[in-house]
Structure 1
């Protein structure tokens, strides 16, 4: 498969402490890949280096064959990398569709030229994106009254506004009820399948990870200790030791 993201020997140190230590991996086009690990394993630090929020101490990051190491987040975003965060960041005073329209205005470089008729800009395009995440029936509701799971769906629609080829999702189901978690990740899997978007996501819900991921990577104390399919990761003794101190890591999953 065509490689969309390649990471080579990535390191990040703070006063001698290695938060991420010599991590290398790749993500293929159209792949849904999970990055898991205990709290403090280095997952968010790794994401922040991929997206430009942090500059690596060492190593290189390539997107679509071109180096993006240390580039500014907006430049990386413009190249076609999107991101969602653990905590949603929507405009609570605006409606659902207005939030998506604002993101589209930014994508089309209209954010500083809006006027009193801005509410008309890109409304049809925004509605199509809301249909993608099954939020079209809530288009005119203010974000302040939305359930948390619906805010996560809206955040996904916003992230899709600039038609990313790679989407980084940092704990997309955090804070959601179990049923809503399954529904959101199935939605993400459908987008990967239908639109060919690559997704790299971090997650603590192992049912979500093993039900939907094509491949899984495991970080521990800043080091990558496993990278493979669900069966390979589940049966990896080092991964089992990290999570449970030995024994079977996860129950068998018929989706894997």
Structure 2
């Protein structure tokens, strides 16, 4: 089943075309990577998908329902979650309180925040923290967490809305290589078990080629390649964009390319 259908998506800023007729689909439970050099249009694409930017033209359908023109909160309510390159948590709140805040919003109980919000959805929040391996740090203030733990917490917060499609912007940015592998494997296991579709951007090609079911490559607002990791790895246009010439991430130890 197709979760997301994007057709002929276009967006310009003045004389700069940031998206030039982008068309793709995301299947149910699929992990689809969107890669490309700086300025390729990845962030613009993401911001249109979750309603932060309105495309100049084109269509975005979530399980057959058009979402172009809807506000970010409406898109979120329809089942499109998102994580960001720079984590956004409440540093003075505890880990579990951050997840409870997301659950309060999901259940439309934000007006109940005071004075007994700390008692609401605590068990549900605990289950999400266990899912991402953060239950043992539930009582810690977010401001004291290591960056890798913040990324795990952000995943739990994103899952609180029970998303059908999850947009992940540089999910492993700022993490050590071993943490990157662990987080993406955790993400892959969780979303496949829950039937969530994932579209993610990533600069670490080792992560992309290990975990993505398919890969799309943007360059100057255009989709220049899409297919299996191996097909994209062997694409001459992709090789040229990333390395100038030669093979893109062959059998030797993986390299990183700027996203």
> What TM-score does the superposition give when structure 1 sets the normalisation length?
0.97
State the Cα RMSD in Å. Answer: 1.1
1:36-51 superposed matches below 5 A = 36-51=35-50
1:112-151 superposed matches below 5 A = 112-151=111-150
Query: Tell me, what secondary structure is at the counterpart of 1:112?
Result: helix
Query: Tell me, what secondary structure is at the counterpart of 1:23?
Result: strand
1:1-256 superposed matches below 5 A = 2-252=1-251
Partner of 2:256: none
The Cα shift of 1:253 comes to 8.6
> Do the aligned partners of 1:49 and 1:70 also contact (CA within 8 Å) in 2?
no
Query: Tell me, what secondary structure is at the counterpart of 1:22?
Result: strand
> Do the aligned partners of 1:95 and 1:143 also contact (CA within 8 Å) in 2?
yes
The Cα shift of 1:193 comes to 2.0
5+ long unaligned stretches in structure 2: 254-259
Measured in 1, the distance between the counterparts of 2:96 and 2:214 equals 34
5+ long unaligned stretches in structure 1: none
> Do the aligned partners of 1:210 and 1:253 also contact (CA within 8 Å) in 2?
no
> Do the aligned partners of 1:211 and 1:253 also contact (CA within 8 Å) in 2?
no
Measured in 1, the distance between the counterparts of 2:133 and 2:112 equals 30
Query: Tell me, what secondary structure is at the counterpart of 1:242?
Result: helix
Task: Report the count of equivalent residues.
Answer: 253
> What TM-score does the superposition give when structure 2 sets the normalisation length?
0.96
Measured in 2, the distance between the counterparts of 1:116 and 1:69 equals 38
Task: State the Cα deviation string for residues 30-84 of structure 1 (Å, max 9, x = none).
Answer: 0001000001100000000000000101111110101001210000000000000
